[in-house]
Structure 1
Amino acid sequence: MKQTGLPMNRVDGEDKVCGTARYAAEFTLPRLAHAVMVQSPVASGRILAIDGKPVAAMPGVLAVLTHENAMKLPKGGKAAVQPPQGRVLSLLQDDAVHYAGQPVAVVVAETLEQATAAAAALRIRYERRSASLSFAAAKGNAYSPGKIQESEADTARGDASRAASAAAKRVDLNYATPMEHHNPMEPHATLATWNGDHLTLYDSTQHVAGVQKTIAKTFGMQASQVRVRNLFVGGGFGGKGSAWSHVALAAMAARHTGRPVRLVLQRPQLFGPVGGRPRTEQVVKLAADGQGRLAAIEHRAFSNTSAIEDWTESCALVTRMLYACPNVATSHRLVKLNVGTPTFQRAPGEATGSFALESAMDELAAEAGIDPLRLRLLNYADTDLEKRLPYSSKALRACYETAAERFGWARRDPRPRSMRQGQWLVGMGMGTATRPAKRSPAAASVKLTPDGQAVVRSSTEDLGTGTYTVMTQIAADALGYAPGKVRFELGDTDFPEAPVSAGSMTVESVGSAVHAACQLARHELVRLACRDPLSPLSGASLADVRLEDGWLRHADGKRAEPASAAIARAPGAAIEASADSKPGDETERYSMHSFGAVFCEAHVDPELGIVRVPRVVGAYGVGTVINAKTAHSQIMGGIVWGISQALHEESLLDERYGRFVNANLAEYHIPVNADIGDIDITFVPETDPHVNAIGAKGLGEVGMTGVAGAIANAVYHATGKRIRELPIRLDKLL
């Protein structure tokens, strides 16, 4: 029975429910010591003096690491700097301070309580220097990053300015999104242990291979001298895609003390030294003819970076391809602040950029007197005009139709403040969702054993997204085995290398490698049986033998044997295969994206300004859905985060000191179950023969895109008031 597409339960579900799933901080070793990171309260300056002697004498303290006694690293700890994953780290190599929250010391003790008390007692004297902490003040010195990963920071096709000046309808708008920070249930955690000149790390990461390479380069070691393990991740969302300072600091502390050391970041320590979403300010100009067809788009984005390196929020990339428009100009500019370096946060660029673009499309629809859905259909892009390529597949039109019908968009009265439900003003808004379908080189191996089992391996990670499960399904179908006979193993750099588990590309990348490796093993098993004189299938043509549910069967229906029997007679009593998978020339022939349409209903209390979102309807085209249940969960999680972005999340920076004043889960607002209403998700049928061998596109992040814009549009429809800066709070509506 084909497994792909079925809502198979998570294979790791029992371990998680029973508490036997081991996360990074739950591994333990003999003589384990505990480390606590000390951070600077100063946003800019240098360390003048550290009084470490009293702390070193405290009960249980094993070491106080500072720039005065920490091991010296190659190139000052910057040997592995290669953004976006090889970041500039703070590794106690000098006395400079670049942001409040920067690691400046590590205290190691016998127990966590002793280390925490000692870290709090450490006294450090600073020379304070002027810090850049106001986005508004620093924006005047904004500069171009030149490149955004593989794309140009600025692009232009046609003449947007001239086309806009001649257009019948125009809007010129400013939008803003705040700094935000990841708050996974599992904080960043690392356990480091040395065995001679070999290092083992148990690390909560989205990329064990990336951590291995980064730490090896940082310490001047060979990659083979570093092993990284990570069986489960309690949430990452992009924040664990890089090896941050605490990982190397744990290794340094373990080397210094000669003992295994565990370092777990405290909740407030997630605000700064491990990235976050930067603030953005975006200018969007749209121009259309009298019928609503776009004549010009300009999208100019500003986002903050840190004082130590550049990182760009790619807000305007979505604008380059989403709608059919002959004249488009986009740009990105960086604003340097004394804060921690930003990083990827779920749907980076698209989440913030689509809020601005989809809000602006709604404002253009209002200006032109056109239904917002009709405006998008009028400007539907059948090809990627930026890349000048056809789409590998695109089911967005079906997404619009399906979601609009399920939502009841036709019942919407277009007049703002025209719809009510009791005391509540009712608004309906919509937005378009999209994310690139990305694929990176990946490798996998498979071993078939005489007990009828298959062990499949790749050094990828399961972030809670269901990787264990979907890879089991892919392998089962490719092998012809029942899923209960497949064990997928991951999270170990001793396994074949996989790319970072980010960018919604794990299934596309690792799934393709798993599929290829299992097909090779299947072919080899059939070949051996057909050539084995002891097999009932001896002499059969390979084309006439199939492998189903662990049995080799001839097309004549008369000859068959268990795969386990054939394997038992194989050399070494096992069949092994490995495969590498990487993108080919399809990336030069097609533009590949996931798409979706999202419709939101907002209820607003006209007297109190309270906003509720009782229902969201989304339809998505993501190619082949490998697991209907985990796919639904991924989209639901993205929609919930979109609601959070629209109504709740904001990291509040005190511009006097550079510290975040709500660096905890009590005051960093995120939605709870009571904030979430009905979420209706549909996957429209979509076949993509070009994107990869299994036809799957990423869906971990597309569910978040478009949601904030749709909610902002619904709030406008309910109230007649346009909120252009997130989050939408009651004080902005009163």
Structure 2
Amino acid sequence: MTVHLKQDAPDERNVLDFTGQSVIGEPLSRPEGLLKVTGTATYAAEYEVDGCCEGVLVTLPVVRGEVTAIDEASVLSMPGVIAVLSDERMTGRPAQGMAGEAPFQPAKDVCYWGQPVALVVAETFEQARDAAKHVAMDWRSEQAPLDPAAVETEESESTRQGDLAHAMAEAAHSVDVVFTTEGHASAAMEPHAALAQWEDGKLTVHASLQMLKFNRAELADSIGLEEEQVRLLSPYVGGGFGSKLGVSQEVVAASLAAMHLGRPVRVVMSRQQVFQTVERRSETHQRIRLAADAEGRLTGFGHEARVSNLPGESFAEPVLQSSHFLYAGENRLLRLEVARIHRMTAGSVRAPGEAVGVQTVEQAMDMLAEKVGIDPVELRLRNIPDKHPANGKPFSSRKLAEALREGATAFGWEPRPRTPRHTREGEWWIGTGMASAARVHSVVEAKARVTLRPGGTALVETDMTDIGTGSYAILGQVAGEMLGLVPDDIEVRLGDTDLPPGSGSGGSVGAASCGSAVFLACQGLRKELAERLGIAPESLTLKDGFARWSGGQKALTELLNQEPIECTGHFEPGASTEDMAVSSFGAFFAEVAVNRWTGETRVRRMTGAFGFGRVLNARTARSQCLGGLTWCIGNALTESLLFDPVDGHLVNCDLAEYHVPVNRDVPDLEVLLLEERDAAASPIQAKGVGELGLCGGAAAIANAIHDACGARVFAYPMTPDRVLAAMPET
């Protein structure tokens, strides 16, 4: 039995509001949590397979060139070495992993420093690692552009409405400012790893991946197999943040080596290789122009950005995504340009686009509030558009005003124009700042199978992954709510391409997409149960393992009659997300202390208020928001990829030198979940939250720095030297 829905219209029924189990939205623990905290959840590199050999990638220290010879014999006599493989298919560029984006690209030419060119396979990891350092190679190298500011750009996106230049010239108040942001690494805790087995014409790969149905197609295409010959397993993934959206070199290399040798092969990237070869977030150069009347209402809005990528890559960091709809202003210019340089592939990293785009807009808005002489919260409230400024579509829902007001109340925001250096504690200036949050909403096609078992329990199956976001928990809660079962009576199986193809984890699509597929499957089961009772489905209430209706009640075990029933839910996005502007919104508030002598910034507290549709699990949603707020601190103060301007290599290619926020950097964080129902977003009225908590918060910190000490910093991260240099004279 299959229930298929292409959502062409908002679902106003809000079915989950009228079921009886009351588990949806509750802050339930993650069912796999104990396995993870006790170290018994098995990750990609941890499977014990008889006869498994180990592979280590060999990389080339040039930014552009070609390998002309690899001397396999130079290491084959070393202890334990089995083979040196240099198939072009295993050394290409990582795939993006989302539908419609480029698959894994084989490459003969080297186009960035540290690109893999071969794989050494040995009996032990230590033997393979040692041999990989000694492979003799010849190569040809050539000069390549490394500086995005020194090359011509190509236009990727452009929107023009009205006359922005005229609006700027006539404005009572205006802001015209340039910001820069450094590149970022995903920096997931689990390194990229794959363990491949080839047996009877079928390839089975344990891998650390986010989007299995896409990854299966990418891998099959890369190595010349049919999709039916490939099985991927990723039941536990130790973080992805975009870096595992597509297959990368270790997956292809392990697969080809296993097929070539007829033995299982494990390939695990070192931390340095992850940083050097896996996709980065592009650095950005952004110009923001705001024109406003005397009361601060925007008459013009401009956002122009330059990003970079390798030649031939289609992805461009979507810096402008939320700028299209966040604020009003009838005269608009939005333009995105791409510079072609030779650094590793630029791709999706932690809320691509808005993570670095919204923070620059929000800092410029703070500057405008200062010029107008009004409270920054009030300025934003005055500029919330009635409809999408570019296409005129109505908003399906929008919690921006509520987030601004409720966040301000919870934080204790003082509504006033900002006057820097108003509070000092010893050698520390104290200040507060705020910013809006916005993130586009997306859903993708997803399938899930739900089985009601004779014992009155349920099984949920889909190839959806859980990258630390709570998929196991929320999919079980959707099924439990629909079928009247407690969470302990529901088993959730994920991360296996033998299961129905779900959405995968990326772009904040998982909860709404796969959750809707589970919801549809359960609707089919409810209909079957109602038919067995001879009642209409809407007359049926399922609670605590019993079917109840106006005429009585019966245990599910009786209705099942010792036989399971199953249904597959098939969800597809439709016109409901095409006819309306569907997005998530929020607000950030931050308090910082800035040292008057050193420029050091310490975030003392932050509040985030977020509206993202129905809350499926308050605990996992809050956890996602806490993670976003933490990344905001990294965006604002510490994180940057640093490349050598001479030879192009990544200088800070490990977690010792690439500075993600650690415990002592993260203060008390407060999260407000603003419950809403967005009927156009998905059949379960949910939208993604995983990335929303990152989109704009760095600006709240930047604005708080200015409020504290008067330093307006235009380059992210705002390191102590930059803050100190921007401080006005005392």
Which amino acid in 2 is paired with 1:215? L
Which amino acid in 1 is paired with 2:54? H
Separation of aligned partners in 2, 1:512 and 1:258: 41
Instruction: Deviation per CA, 1:81-139: give whole Å up to 9, x if none.
Output: 99777546464x53x2111011111100111111100101112232220011122212x
Secondary structure of the residue aligned to 1:63 is strand
Aligned equivalent of 1:17: 37
Aligned equivalent of 1:401: 405
User: Does the C-alpha gap of structure 1 residues 705 and 79 become closer, same or farther in structure 2, counting only changes over 3 Å?
Assistant: closer
- Counterpart pick for 1:592 among 582, 604, 619: 582
Separation of aligned partners in 2, 1:596 and 1:603: 24
- Counterpart pick for 1:5 among 25, 31, 40: 25
Separation of aligned partners in 1, 2:596 and 2:94: 57
- Counterpart pick for 2:512 among 508, 513, 519: 508
Secondary structure of the residue aligned to 1:107 is strand
Separation of aligned partners in 2, 1:79 and 1:396: 37
Q: Contact between 2:189 and 2:238, CA under 8 Å: does it hold in 1?
A: yes
Separation of aligned partners in 1, 2:94 and 2:350: 28
- Counterpart pick for 1:567 among 560, 563, 570: 560
User: Does the C-alpha gap of structure 1 residues 80 and 649 become closer, same or farther in structure 2, counting only changes over 3 Å?
Assistant: closer
Secondary structure of the residue aligned to 2:281 is coil
Aligned equivalent of 1:522: 526
User: Does the C-alpha gap of structure 1 residues 723 and 624 become closer, same or farther in structure 2, counting only changes over 3 Å?
Assistant: same
Aligned equivalent of 1:275: 279
Aligned equivalent of 1:46: 66
Separation of aligned partners in 2, 1:730 and 1:237: 27
Instruction: Deviation per CA, 1:521-564: give whole Å up to 9, x if none.
Output: 12212322x2xxxxxxxx566554432111122324xx433211
Aligned equivalent of 1:633: 623
Which amino acid in 1 is paired with 2:541? R
Aligned equivalent of 2:14: none
Aligned equivalent of 1:553: 548
- Counterpart pick for 2:699 among 700, 709, 726: 709
- Bigger Cα displacement from structure 2, 702-711 vs 269-278: 269-278
Aligned equivalent of 1:192: 196
Aligned equivalent of 2:471: 467
Separation of aligned partners in 1, 2:683 and 2:723: 49
Separation of aligned partners in 2, 1:382 and 1:227: 48
Separation of aligned partners in 2, 1:232 and 1:407: 36
1:655 to partner: Cα distance: 1.4
Which amino acid in 2 is paired with 1:103? P
1:76-91 alignment runs, 5 A limit = 86-87=101-102, 89=104, 91=106
Separation of aligned partners in 1, 2:289 and 2:95: 40
1:231-246 alignment runs, 5 A limit = 231-246=235-250
Aligned equivalent of 1:733: 723
Q: Contact between 1:71 and 1:252, CA under 8 Å: does it hold in 2?
A: no
Separation of aligned partners in 2, 1:79 and 1:373: 42
Aligned equivalent of 2:363: 359
Separation of aligned partners in 2, 1:214 and 1:541: 45
1:408-419 alignment runs, 5 A limit = 408-410=412-414, 414-419=418-423
Which amino acid in 1 is paired with 2:554? E
Secondary structure of the residue aligned to 2:133 is helix
- Counterpart pick for 1:100 among 104, 113, 117: 113
1:101-116 alignment runs, 5 A limit = 101-116=114-129
Instruction: Deviation per CA, 1:207-261: give whole Å up to 9, x if none.
Output: 1111110111122322111111110110001111111222111111111211111
Separation of aligned partners in 2, 1:49 and 1:220: 25
Q: Contact between 1:480 and 1:549, CA under 8 Å: does it hold in 2?
A: yes
- Bigger Cα displacement from structure 2, 478-487 vs 304-313: 304-313
Aligned equivalent of 2:571: 581
1:651 to partner: Cα distance: 0.9
Aligned equivalent of 2:9: none
Separation of aligned partners in 2, 1:641 and 1:622: 19
User: Does the C-alpha gap of structure 1 residues 386 and 168 become closer, same or farther in structure 2, counting only changes over 3 Å?
Assistant: same
Separation of aligned partners in 2, 1:387 and 1:516: 32
User: Does the C-alpha gap of structure 1 residues 709 and 158 become closer, same or farther in structure 2, counting only changes over 3 Å?
Assistant: same
1:323-402 alignment runs, 5 A limit = 323-402=327-406
Separation of aligned partners in 2, 1:51 and 1:544: 74
Which amino acid in 2 is paired with 1:228? L
Which amino acid in 2 is paired with 1:130? Q
Separation of aligned partners in 2, 1:353 and 1:662: 24
Q: Contact between 2:375 and 2:416, CA under 8 Å: does it hold in 1?
A: no
User: Does the C-alpha gap of structure 1 residues 542 and 666 become closer, same or farther in structure 2, counting only changes over 3 Å?
Assistant: closer
Asked whether 1:130 is paired with 2:143, we answer yes
Q: Contact between 2:197 and 2:205, CA under 8 Å: does it hold in 1?
A: yes
1:613 to partner: Cα distance: 0.5
- Counterpart pick for 1:617 among 596, 600, 607: 607
State the aligned residue count.
704
Separation of aligned partners in 2, 1:575 and 1:466: 26
Which amino acid in 2 is paired with 1:116? R
Percent of aligned pairs with the same amino acid: 39
Separation of aligned partners in 2, 1:541 and 1:40: 67
1:238-277 alignment runs, 5 A limit = 238-277=242-281
Instruction: Deviation per CA, 1:162-187: give whole Å up to 9, x if none.
Output: 22221111111100100111111101
Aligned equivalent of 1:605: 595
- Bigger Cα displacement from structure 2, 654-663 vs 307-316: 307-316
Secondary structure of the residue aligned to 1:176 is strand
Q: Contact between 1:308 and 1:341, CA under 8 Å: does it hold in 2?
A: no
Q: Contact between 2:98 and 2:246, CA under 8 Å: does it hold in 1?
A: no
User: Does the C-alpha gap of structure 1 residues 246 and 410 become closer, same or farther in structure 2, counting only changes over 3 Å?
Assistant: same
Separation of aligned partners in 2, 1:394 and 1:79: 36
Aligned equivalent of 1:149: none
User: Does the C-alpha gap of structure 1 residues 78 and 683 become closer, same or farther in structure 2, counting only changes over 3 Å?
Assistant: closer
User: Does the C-alpha gap of structure 1 residues 220 and 714 become closer, same or farther in structure 2, counting only changes over 3 Å?
Assistant: same
Secondary structure of the residue aligned to 1:248 is helix
Separation of aligned partners in 2, 1:382 and 1:718: 34
1:655-670 alignment runs, 5 A limit = 655-670=645-660
TM-score of the superposition, structure 2-length normalised? 0.93
Which amino acid in 1 is paired with 2:285? E
User: Does the C-alpha gap of structure 1 residues 84 and 654 become closer, same or farther in structure 2, counting only changes over 3 Å?
Assistant: farther
Separation of aligned partners in 2, 1:19 and 1:279: 36
Please, what is the CA RMSD of the aligned residues?
A: 1.9
1:679 to partner: Cα distance: 0.7
1:653 to partner: Cα distance: 0.2
Moved over 6 A (4+): 76-85
Listed as ranges, the gaps of 5+ residues in structure 2 are 1-20, 725-730
- Bigger Cα displacement from structure 2, 646-655 vs 407-416: 407-416
Q: Contact between 1:80 and 1:218, CA under 8 Å: does it hold in 2?
A: no
Task: Work out which structure has the larger RCO, using CA pairs closer than 8 Å and 6 or more positions apart in sequence.
Answer: 2
Instruction: Deviation per CA, 1:574-607: give whole Å up to 9, x if none.
Output: 1111120111221232111110010111110001
1:395 to partner: Cα distance: 1.4
- Bigger Cα displacement from structure 2, 403-412 vs 716-725: 403-412
1:689 to partner: Cα distance: 2.2
1:102-251 alignment runs, 5 A limit = 102-138=115-151, 141-145=152-156, 153-251=157-255
- Bigger Cα displacement from structure 2, 332-341 vs 118-127: 118-127
Separation of aligned partners in 2, 1:420 and 1:71: 61
1:80 to partner: Cα distance: 8.6
Separation of aligned partners in 2, 1:83 and 1:684: 29
Secondary structure of the residue aligned to 2:442 is coil
Q: Contact between 1:42 and 1:126, CA under 8 Å: does it hold in 2?
A: no
Q: Contact between 1:435 and 1:594, CA under 8 Å: does it hold in 2?
A: yes
Which amino acid in 2 is paired with 1:105? A
Secondary structure of the residue aligned to 1:21 is coil
